[in-house]
């Protein structure tokens, strides 16, 4: 996964390039913004995770050739990529679930 993140070439599809750019450049800033605004950051991280999943699976689907390779190689490639792409979804879900609402802050 790390090698794919740093090499964008002619064999990459547009959805994968968008997924790489969103995943690579917005996860850390969204986590930093989550310190002050947890809910919008959680929604953004869920969106980034969805786009990353779609882009990475689309690239895996377009790069495998069904006559040459079995479905097992497609599933193995997809599962490892989906695990990596779902990390922002886990963070975003925690932010949405446990984020403090502005009206429920304890009195200082």
The domain containing residue 66 runs over which residues? 14-101
pLDDT, residue 64, reads 66
Q: Is residue 82 part of a domain?
A: yes
Q: Is residue 35 part of a domain?
A: yes
pLDDT in tens, 21-77: 888 899 999 999 998 899 999 999 999 999 999 988 888 777 766 665 566 666 777
Q: Is residue 50 part of a domain?
A: yes
Q: With 80 as the cut, is the pLDDT of residue 104 above it?
A: no
What pTM, to 2 d.p., does this model score?
Answer: 0.75
CA distances from 95 to 7, 28, 53, 107 (A): 31, 14, 20, 22
């Amino acid at each position: 996964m790390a090698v794919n993140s740093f090499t964008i070439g002619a064999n990459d599809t547009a959805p994968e390039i968008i997924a790489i750019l969103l995943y690579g450049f917005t996860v850390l800033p969204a986590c930093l913004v989550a310190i002050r605004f947890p809910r919008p950051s959680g929604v953004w991280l869920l969106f980034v995770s969805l786009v990353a999943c779609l882009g990475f699976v689309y690239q895996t689907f377009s790069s495998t050739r069904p006559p040459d390779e079995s479905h097992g190689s497609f599933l193995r490639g997809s599962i490892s990529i989906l695990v990596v792409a779902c990390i922002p979804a886990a963070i975003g879900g925690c932010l949405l679930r446990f984020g403090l609402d502005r009206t429920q802050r304890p009195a200082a």
